[in-house]
Structure 1
Amino acid sequence: MTKTDEQWREELSPQEYAVLRESATERPFTGEYTDTETEGVYSCRACGAELFRSTTKFHSHCGWPSFYAPSKDDNVELIEDRSSGMVRTEVRCASCGSHLGHVFEGEGFDTPTDQRYCINSVSLKLQPTQ
């Protein structure tokens, strides 16, 4: 999916645009999905592509929604991120290229993958299970 910056600005709020298109980060503990336990599917707020399921969401107490795996590996794109003076792995929507957050490994969480997909709430839209 390709859109111009002008098209994205028309469709997204200023905060959504800053995070999804400019790789900003929302402040910790402020996002609407940080602590939610609603069952359903989390999709990309920009394009609607499925990204995560509530069955892989867990409480990491980091200030952002955390998942231990995407719903399918090819739903997200992982990119080396050397910004902010560190090396991290950025997570992007594979469908539209929007910034979602970062993934971290080896932090000792009791999850099947020992990964923490730390995702901005503003990057997501929850579709509750009926």
Structure 2
Amino acid sequence: MTDLASPTKTRSAAGYDLTPPSDDERARLEAALSPEEKRVLLAHGTEAPFCGTLLGEKRAGVFCCRECGLPLFRSRTKFESGTGWPSFTEPVDEDHVLAIRDTSYGMVRIETRCARCDSHQGHVFPDGPPPTGDRYCINSVALEFVAEGESLPDPLQRGDGTA
């Protein structure tokens, strides 16, 4: 997970283009979001627990940012946390997820955002299982699941490949 204070990379160690969308690309991406997706991704909202469509997803594949398509989490790192949101032990690549200190609602937490489009994904907590001890608690509405072998979403037309 990349700290917001770190210099911005244009390519992740996994080979994905991390260049932020242009203003025109961002407007196009945001226009394609549903009202609930906008509330979570753009306004840093949270979906209700135990209602997300990806909570029970168990197929092999990858979970991508709903806004820009960047692969964020692999299904093999997903686990049942009992919290009501999809939970993961680690991102696809540390460079794909930004960590931002969040002091909203009288709490101190670490917010997670997509490193390419800066959309809100959820939070990470230090109470996960081995090997990392981390629990990335992510909103289903902030993700798009891609089954193994299928083409990744590529709304920015960067040719980033398959799951």
RMSD: 1.5
SS for the counterpart of 2:130 is coil
Taking the TM superposition and a 5 Å limit, the aligned residue runs for 1:100-119 are 100-105=121-126, 107=127, 109-119=128-138
Q: CA deviation at 1:2?
A: 4.0
Distance 1:77 1:9 in 2: 19
SS for the counterpart of 2:40 is helix
Q: CA deviation at 1:11?
A: 1.2
Q: Pick the aligned partner of 1:37 from 51, 58, 62.
A: 58
Percent of aligned pairs sharing the same letter? 48
Taking the TM superposition and a 5 Å limit, the aligned residue runs for 1:17-96 are 17-96=38-117
Scaled by the length of structure 2, the TM-score of the pair is 0.74
- Kept in 2, the 8 Å contact 1:25–1:120? The answer is yes
Displaced runs of 4 or more, over 6 A: none
Q: CA deviation at 1:118?
A: 0.0
1:13 pairs with 2:31: no
Distance 2:22 2:44 in 1: 17
**How many residues matched?**
128
Between structures 1 and 2, the one with greater helix share: 1
Between structures 1 and 2, the one with greater strand share: 1
Scaled by the length of structure 1, the TM-score of the pair is 0.92
Once the two structures are superposed, residues 78-122 of structure 1 have per-residue CA deviations (whole angstroms, 9 ceiling, x without a partner) of 0000001100000000000000000000x2x43211100000000
Q: CA deviation at 1:30?
A: 0.4
Q: CA deviation at 1:38?
A: 1.2
Q: CA deviation at 1:64?
A: 0.2
Which structure would you say has the larger Rg? 2
Structure 2: segments with no counterpart, 5+ residues: 1-20, 150-163
Once the two structures are superposed, residues 37-56 of structure 1 have per-residue CA deviations (whole angstroms, 9 ceiling, x without a partner) of 11101100000001000010
